[in-house]
Structure 1
Amino acid sequence: MLYALIDIGSNTVRMAIYRIEGGRAEMLMKKKHAVGLAAHLKDGIMQQSGIDRTVEIVNGFRAFLLPFGIENVVAFTTAALRNARNSAEAVGEIERRTGLSIRIITGDEEAEYDFIGAVHGLKEDSGVIIDIGGASTELVAFKNRAILTKTSLPIGSLALYANHVKALLPTAKEIAVMREEVERIIRSEEAFVSIRETSLVGIGGTFKGASALCSAMFHQEAASTHLAVETIEEMIRYFSFAGVLTMDMTVLLMKNVPERMHTVMPGLVIADVLAGWFHAKEITYSDSGVREGYIYAEILK
């Protein structure tokens, strides 16, 4: 049976099409648009521009599905719409104008789906999963492949960029300010205070982009699935920049993170602070996450 999953995220709106048979899910293709919904929040209110753009994209996805006769369409949304003060009104308008029911998943649910999706492809039995989104960051601590604790931090790569960065790339001063904000937020998470010396697993677009950027910068043959913390810190230093980008910088960004040029450094600041907090020396990238977790938890249950 074919299913289409539409994920209305804070950075991107994605649709992935899966063949689900015999208790397994195979992704056939995916389409995405970099919308940056988190940047359409003003004083906590989702602006009409964000609603209109989401409606346009979702209706485009639905039109794409028509020739294939795919009727199993599931849509959910995460932090940008979840945290908006007018969340119910904004989602309701999107539903009316697209004819599609949209589930607002909670921060806890998002973290749990992250875990379920990632753990299927993990070798690690214990560790912490990190999913850096545009408006939130989910953390899931697990041991013996079972969840110990989970949380959704009110900080994301696009939100950091919108609040603290004036140009395309952050300056050293802006990076310092972002670090302070992330450190303040993680210190408030009592459930994670005692978790140290653990394996970290990164999922989502920030880590996918960082893996590609790392491979290009350090001339690796394939996208790296193991990001050393010292490498993350070197990338942040290299792209801490004020002024016109060099040709080398331009080529690296355009080839490897064309849709995340402005958010990849704020995302890496979050990753670096968390790695320091957990005393980790590297972060392992996993390509499975919230959408796969949703399938296993809600469709294949």
Structure 2
Amino acid sequence: MSVTNLLFGTATPKVEVDDHPRTGIIDIGSNSIRLVVYQGPPRLPAIRFNEKVLAGLGRGLAATGTIEKSALKTAKVALARFAAVAREMECSTLRTVATAAVRDARNGGDLIAAAEELGLKVETLSGGQEASAAGYGVLSAIPEADGIVGDLGGGSLELVRVRRGKIEDSVSFPLGVLRIGPMRAKRGKVLERYVARLVRAAGWAARGQGLPLYLVGGSWRALARLDMELSDYPLPIIHQYPMTAATVTRLSRTIPQLSKPRLKAIPGLSSGRIATLGDAAALLGILMRQLGSKTTIVSAYGLREGLLYGDLKPAARALDPLIEAAREEGRLLGRFPEHGDLLDRWIAPLFVTEPPAVARLRHTACLLADVGWRANPEFRAERGVEVALHGNWVAIDAPGRGMLAQALYTSLGGDLAAADPVERLATPAEIQSATAWGLAMRLGQRMSGGLAGPLKRSRLTDDGVSLTLTLLPADRGLYGEAVERRHAALAAAIGRKPVLAIA
């Protein structure tokens, strides 16, 4: 019987659509309450369910010290629903955490008691625990992160120094987005002086000099959504979206000029975040000045993912989340689970001079090479582009997505021109490299029929003049007309002569 079944006193047999268990987290934040259910490989499980309620527990907390009755009522209804959903989804584990509002409010215990009546065991995180979870969340999705994580919630702001996959230091401030409005309403630079005093007293002044500020929290993500719309950004993906200090300043000046209907029309921008956009922008600008950071990078992963990542063993943490996610996608959507790794090893001899950061993108493309086989043949190439550009990948930036899209577009039958909007994401040299990957992948898939045996028994080599495909005598029949054409196309693309060798 699963942990969830024990929790809710049922004995229903567990049924999974996948061979991985489901894990649920209920996050009781100062602004919103959210249930997220994950399922997939432990290093980077996919989100199977995600729902939030903007309860506003931290609204008015600074003035009264208590959670408003209306907010408590909304929260209790949300928790009842989330407990029921988690039970129906048969989560193997269900973790409920509360942050600043419940931690600071005199009546926070009322909400905890209501949750416990529903069978939920609430963990009230300290400021330090909240900060660590946010830092681990960023590291789970951006393993190479080197800078300061800023997690803006409704009731608090956590800063975390991350470097080399570890958390080095952290601090929590009473600077949630729901607390900022009253200070901004006063004359003068009340908020700026207050933030400066807190940062200096904690010893964090200028600690971000030359380092990016990684943004976590719905309010700052909403700010990035706005900038994506205003700048006509070609991707709808917010993760690893960059903003400079100048961009944040411009947004602060622009927000008051935008009407509510205009803001509501922005895709992905929650209407519940509109009222605090100006406050979030103001705080971000001040914080960047105090820390000395010139750039920001948005993280779609934060506290909840950090809780999962923090529970992993070191060996699991060390896994590449992009590779792990792509391998799982290939396993679920492709025809042959081992095909992607074999295909990458088969084409790798052609690209030995590529640096490791580029080689991992090629490996990712190979792992996803078969995801379009169920699509209508007329749209397989477009399906590849969609998977690359819109997939829930992490540890990959916009140029990397562009290269991935071009490789899949070419391998799935697209022409040699850049797929839209790859030209706006990657450089001509990057597109050329990705096109060559795609042609090599296309050759390997056609020659082998997507099977392991032919890839293991053959090899592809490049001596600078000839592109040689070597087959065993018994496999000579695999070199049919379609394979010969693809061999020639790849050779032409990289400036080589196609040669077949039987040995």
- Quickly name the TM-score band, shorter chain normalised: 0.7 to 0.9
| Aligned: 1:114 with 2:127 | no
Note closer, same or farther for the CA distance 1:23–1:132 as it changes in structure 2 (3 Å cut): closer
The aligned residue for residue 216 of structure 2 is 203
User: How many correspondences in the alignment?
Assistant: 288
Change (3 A) 1:23 1:214: closer
1:67 paired residue number: 88
Gaps of 5+ in 2: 1-20, 315-503
Structure 2 residue identity aligned to 1:57: A
Q: Counterparts in 2 of 1:39-188, with a 5 A limit?
A: 39-41=59-61, 42-70=63-91, 72-87=93-108, 89-122=109-142, 124-161=144-181, 163-164=182-183, 176-188=189-201
Q: Per-residue displacement from partner, 1:176-232 (whole Å, max 9, x unpaired)?
A: 433333223222212555552222111121221111100111222225600111111
Match of 1:252 in 2: 263
Structure-2 residue corresponding to 1:268: 281
Choose which of 33, 40, 48 in structure 2 pairs with 1:28: 48
> In 2, distance between residues paired with 1:27 and 1:174?
44
Q: Aligned partners of 2:106, 2:156: CA distance in 1, in Å?
A: 15
Deviations 1:217-260 (A, max 9, x none): 1222225600111111111112246xxx64xx531345234120
Structure 1 residue 288: deviation in Å? 0.9
Q: Is the 8 A contact 1:8 1:75 kept in 2?
A: yes
How far residue 84 of structure 1 moved from its aligned partner, in angstroms, is: 1.4
Q: Distance between the aligned counterparts of 1:254 and 1:145, measured in 2?
A: 38
Indicate yes or no: 2:250 matched with 1:234: yes
- 1:13-68 CA-to-partner distances (Å, cap 9, x unmatched) read 11101015455422222001111110152521223333222111010112233433
Rate the CA distance shift 1:175–1:62 in 2: closer, same or farther, 3 A.
Answer: farther
Inter-partner Cα distance in structure 1 for 2:312 and 2:82: 20
Q: 1:178 and 1:82, CA in 2 relative to 1: closer, same or farther beyond 3 A?
A: same
For residues 113-155 of structure 1, the C-alpha deviation after alignment (integer angstroms, 9 at most, x for no partner) is 1111111222544210111111100100123232221001111
270 and 221 in structure 1: CA distance in 2 versus 1, 3 angstrom threshold:
same
* 1:79 shift after superposition: 0.6
Q: What one-letter code is carried by the residue in structure 2 that aligns with 1:201?
A: Y
SS at match of 1:190: coil
Q: Secondary structure at the match of 1:99?
A: coil
CA 300–35 in structure 1, closer or farther in 2 if over 3 Å, else same: farther
Is there any run of 5+ residues in structure 1 with no aligned partner, and where?
167-172
What corresponds to 2:33 in structure 1? 13
Instruction: Say if 2:310 is the partner of 1:294.
Output: no
Letter of the structure 1 residue corresponding to residue 80 of structure 2: N
Q: Which amino acid aligns with 2:121?
A: S
CA distance in structure 2 between the partners assigned to 1:142 and 1:92 by the alignment: 32
Question: Structure 2: how far apart are the matches of 1:266 and 1:199?
Answer: 21
1:217–1:252 Cα contact (<8 Å) kept: no
Point out which structure has higher relative CO (alpha carbons under 8 A, 6+ apart): 1
- Is 2:24 the partner of 1:4? yes
Task: Specify which structure has the higher proportion of helix.
Answer: 2
Q: 1:195/1:208 Cα in 2 relative to 1: closer, same or farther (>3 Å)?
A: closer
Q: 1:262 to 1:197 in 2, by over 3 A?
A: same
Secondary structure of the 2:141 match is: coil
Larger Rg: 2
Give 1 or 2: higher strand fraction.
1
CA distance in 1, matches of 2:42, 2:55: 35
Of residues 283-292 and 251-260 in structure 1, the stretch that sits farther from structure 2 once superposed is: 251-260
